[in-house]
Structure 1
Amino acid sequence: MPASATKSLRVAVLADSDTRWKWGALTARRLTPAAAEVRLDGYLLRGRATPTARQLQEVGVHADSLSEVTGVEFLHAMSQEPYDILVLALVGGGVQAMLHGLRDAWGTGPRPVVVTGYVGVVYEKLADGLLLRHGADLVLANSRHDADRFRAVYEGVGADASSVTEVALPFLGGAPYSGEHEPYTVVFAAQPSVPDNRRDRTYLLDRLIRHARTHPEREVLLKLRSKPGEHTTHIEELPYQKLVQGNDVPDNFRLVYGHMGEVLDRTDLLVTVSSTAALEALHRRVPTVVLTDLGVREALGNHHFTGSGCLASWDQLDAGHRPAPDEEWVARQGVATDGSYETAFDAARERIATLLDRAGGLPPLTPYYTPETAPGYLPGILARHHLGPDGAPLPGAPTADKAPGPVRQIVRRAARGAYRHGVQRVAPVIRRMGEL
Structure 2
Amino acid sequence: MGSAVPRVVVLADSDSRWKWAALVARRLAPKHALDARFLLTSTTPTERQIAEVGVVPDTSKVVTYAEVLDDPAVAEADLLILGTIGGTVLALIHSLGMAWDSAGRRPVVVSGYVGVVYENLVDGLLLRVGSDMVLANSRYDAKRFREVYRGVGADPYTVVEAGLPFLEGDRYDPTAVGRDRPFTVCFAVQPTVPSGLAARAGLLDKLQRHARRHPDREVLLKLRTREGETTTRLERHPYRALFDELPDPPANLKAVDGDMGEVLDRTDLLVTVSSTAAMEAIHRGIPTAILTDYGVREAHGNHFFVGSGALASWAQLDEGLIPRADPAWAAEHGIGQRDPFAAAQARFAELRSRITLPRARPYYTPGNATDYLEALLSRHGLGLSGRPLPNATPASPTAMRKLIQRGAGGLYRVGRSRVAPVIRRLAQG
TM value normalised by structure 1: 0.88
Whether 2:67 is the aligned partner of 1:67: answer no
Whole-angstrom CA distance in 2 between matches of 1:415 and 1:228:
20
Whether 2:389 is the aligned partner of 1:391: answer no
Q: 2:370: which partner in 1? A: 375
Secondary structure in structure 2 of the residue aligned to 1:60: coil
Query: Per-residue CA shift, 1:115-165, capped at 9, x if unaligned?
Result: 000100011111111111111000000111111111111112222211100
Whole-angstrom CA distance in 1 between matches of 2:221 and 2:86:
30
Whether 2:227 is the aligned partner of 1:239: answer no
Secondary structure in structure 1 of the residue aligned to 2:71: helix
Q: Any gaps of 5 or more consecutive residues in structure 2?
A: 395-399, 416-429
Whether 2:291 is the aligned partner of 1:291: answer yes
Letter in 2 for 1:42: A
Query: Could you tell me which of 131, 136, 141 is aligned with 1:141?
Result: 136
Q: 1:156: which partner in 2? A: 151
Query: Per-residue CA shift, 1:394-423, capped at 9, x if unaligned?
Result: 223469xxxxxxxxxxxxxx9986541224
- Aligned pairs for 1:28-427 within 5 A: 28-32=25-29, 37-78=31-72, 81-109=75-103, 110-179=105-174, 180-181=176-177, 182-247=181-246, 248-336=248-336, 340-341=337-338, 343-359=339-355, 361-397=356-392, 418-423=404-409
Q: Which moved further from structure 2: 104-113 or 87-96?
A: 104-113
Whole-angstrom CA distance in 2 between matches of 1:235 and 1:425:
15
Q: 2:426: which partner in 1? A: none
Contact (CA 8 Å) 1:229, 1:421: kept in 2 or not? no
User: How far is the alpha carbon of 1:228 from its aligned partner?
Assistant: 3.1
User: How far is the alpha carbon of 1:203 from its aligned partner?
Assistant: 1.6
Secondary structure in structure 1 of the residue aligned to 2:156: coil
Letter in 1 for 2:344: A
Whole-angstrom CA distance in 2 between matches of 1:235 and 1:100:
27
User: How far is the alpha carbon of 1:389 from its aligned partner?
Assistant: 1.6
Whole-angstrom CA distance in 1 between matches of 2:150 and 2:74:
35
Whole-angstrom CA distance in 2 between matches of 1:262 and 1:228:
20
Secondary structure in structure 2 of the residue aligned to 1:376: helix
Whole-angstrom CA distance in 1 between matches of 2:346 and 2:109:
14
Query: Per-residue CA shift, 1:161-215, capped at 9, x if unaligned?
Result: 1110000100111110011522100000001111121122112111011111110
Shift in CA distance, 22/184, structure 1 to aligned 2, threshold 3 Å: same
Secondary structure in structure 2 of the residue aligned to 1:43: strand
Whole-angstrom CA distance in 2 between matches of 1:57 and 1:319:
40
Contact (CA 8 Å) 1:310, 1:323: kept in 2 or not? yes
Whole-angstrom CA distance in 1 between matches of 2:364 and 2:276:
29
Whole-angstrom CA distance in 2 between matches of 1:415 and 1:133:
25
Query: Per-residue CA shift, 1:18-62, capped at 9, x if unaligned?
Result: 111010000000012x5xx31000000001000112222223221
Whole-angstrom CA distance in 1 between matches of 2:244 and 2:51:
26
User: How far is the alpha carbon of 1:63 from its aligned partner?
Assistant: 0.6
Whole-angstrom CA distance in 1 between matches of 2:271 and 2:292:
11
- Corresponding pairs, count: 402
Q: Which moved further from structure 2: 104-113 or 117-126?
A: 104-113
Secondary structure in structure 2 of the residue aligned to 1:67: strand
Give the root-mean-square deviation of aligned CA atoms. Answer: 2.2
Q: Which runs of 4+ in 1 moved over 3 A?
A: 78-81, 396-399, 414-419, 423-427
Q: Any gaps of 5 or more consecutive residues in structure 1?
A: 1-6, 400-413, 430-436
Contact (CA 8 Å) 1:229, 1:417: kept in 2 or not? no
Secondary structure in structure 1 of the residue aligned to 2:194: coil
Contact (CA 8 Å) 2:14, 2:45: kept in 1 or not? yes
Whole-angstrom CA distance in 1 between matches of 2:367 and 2:204:
49
Query: Per-residue CA shift, 1:285-306, capped at 9, x if unaligned?
Result: 0000000011101111100000
Whole-angstrom CA distance in 1 between matches of 2:402 and 2:127:
26
Q: 2:24: which partner in 1? A: 27
Contact (CA 8 Å) 1:73, 1:398: kept in 2 or not? no
Contact (CA 8 Å) 1:42, 1:63: kept in 2 or not? yes
Contact (CA 8 Å) 2:12, 2:37: kept in 1 or not? yes
Letter in 1 for 2:343: A
Letter in 1 for 2:186: V
Secondary structure in structure 1 of the residue aligned to 2:390: coil
Whole-angstrom CA distance in 2 between matches of 1:370 and 1:79:
26
Whole-angstrom CA distance in 1 between matches of 2:107 and 2:240:
43
Letter in 1 for 2:266: R
TM value normalised by structure 2: 0.89
Shift in CA distance, 201/78, structure 1 to aligned 2, threshold 3 Å: farther
